[in-house]
Amino acid sequence: MDKSLCVMRTEGGQSYLTAVRDLSDDEYEHCSKATKRLAKWQHEEQPYRALVNAHRQFVTALYTLSRRHERGEHLYELQVQSEMNERASHFLHAWRAFLEQSGRTLSSHYGTNSEQVKRFKESCSSEYDGSFSYRFLDQLRNYTQHVGQAVGHVSLASNMGEVGDPSTDRYRLEVNVVRDSLLGWSSLKGAVRKELETLPLRIPLEPHVNALMQSNHRIHQVAVAQQVPNLLESAQAILSLTGPAVRSAGAPCIFDFGAVMTERGEPRAEAEFRIEWIPADLAQYIVNTMVP
């Protein structure tokens, strides 16, 4: 076996590779498997990170426009409507991608009929049943995909306070879903239709987006919880191999000396540097945050 556990450190702009010890075939295979599992999990988390980012963009765009309105800038309602429709559409589609890809991830790891997939689906159903915002935006997402836009009305209001005291002036920017536009959609679910009929003509979108994000956060927690045993096993395997002393000395990695040296210890004519980085920091994070 030509692969060795090493550490890479940087001093004065120079990088230094230090060999710690040789690895057996079993140690290498075990570490490689654990590393791939954590890397795969990081990739699988991307849809949720994209959803969080889409929510942040929606909230930030609305806040920025509100601040501009408060400063007295003239905002064109159609431009505000266009920008917020883009943010809302991005968020709603990111939500769908998160749910679909989370389900596929658990199915690929544990099987379509597994307990893990069952718990994930139960979490989604629980949020749907317990949150009007979830049901409302579920239908709004389908509406935007097939019929029209989410934001049908923008309210730009201002109330002047006491004369000479601008601090008492009040400004309000609100992006709204037009209730009757949704009610006019023949594919709207009957149960949601009944709920919508009790609401005002103009329904502020932001509170429902924020409530839905809380539902998605809980669903994500359930999805991750299904993978915790496997993730902990991989993380602990990495931490056991590297050890505190190795991790404190630099970035742990595996170097293939067989690719640069012959069995006689002579440099190869065509040396190939092969370094496999060990995600020790990620492994430590998983242990720190996922251990019951």
- Measured from the Cβ of residue 269, the count of other Cβ atoms closer than 10 Å reads 6
Structural contact between residues 10 and 16, judged by C-beta atoms closer than 8 angstroms: yes
Distance, in Å, from the CA atom of 222 to the CA atom of 217, rounded to the nearest integer, reads: 9
Q: Residue 270: is its pLDDT beyond 60?
A: no
Amino acid residing at 54:
A
Higher-scoring residue by pLDDT: 226, 19: 226
Q: Residue 60: is its pLDDT beyond 60?
A: yes
Place of tokens 């905002």: 75
Amino acid residing at 271:
A
Of 250, 254, 246, whose CA–CA distance to 273 is shortest?
254
* Whole-number Cα distances in Å, 127 to 199, 211, 216, 237: 21, 10, 8, 36
Structural domain spans, the chain: 3-41+230-290, 50-226
Token pair recorded at residue 252: 């742990």
Distance, in Å, from the CA atom of 198 to the CA atom of 193, rounded to the nearest integer, reads: 9
Structural contact between residues 216 and 98, judged by C-beta atoms closer than 8 angstroms: yes
% of the chain exceeding 70 in pLDDT: 89
Q: How wide is the angle at C-alpha 171 spanned by C-alphas 68 and 160, nearest 5°? A: 120
Q: Please, where are the H alpha helices in the chain?
A: 25-44, 46-70, 77-110, 115-130, 132-146, 179-183, 190-196, 206-225, 228-249, 280-290
The per-residue pLDDT for range 213-254, each reduced to its tens digit, is 999 999 999 999 999 999 999 999 999 999 998 888 999 999
Distance, in Å, from the CA atom of 22 to the CA atom of 4, rounded to the nearest integer, reads: 4
Q: Residue 272: is its pLDDT beyond 70?
A: no
Pairing of strands 202-204, 275-277: unpaired
Amino acid residing at 166:
P
Q: Residue 112: is its pLDDT beyond 60?
A: yes
Higher-scoring residue by pLDDT: 263, 271: 263
Higher-scoring residue by pLDDT: 78, 167: 78
Q: Residue 260: is its pLDDT beyond 80?
A: no
DSSP 70-81: HTT----HHHHH
Q: What is the pLDDT of residue 169?
A: 42
Global confidence as pTM: 0.86
Structural contact between residues 173 and 206, judged by C-beta atoms closer than 8 angstroms: no
Amino acid residing at 77:
E
Q: What mean pLDDT do residues 84-95 have?
A: 97
Q: What is the pLDDT of residue 167?
A: 45
Q: Residue 259: is its pLDDT beyond 70?
A: no
> Residue 3: beta bridge partners?
256
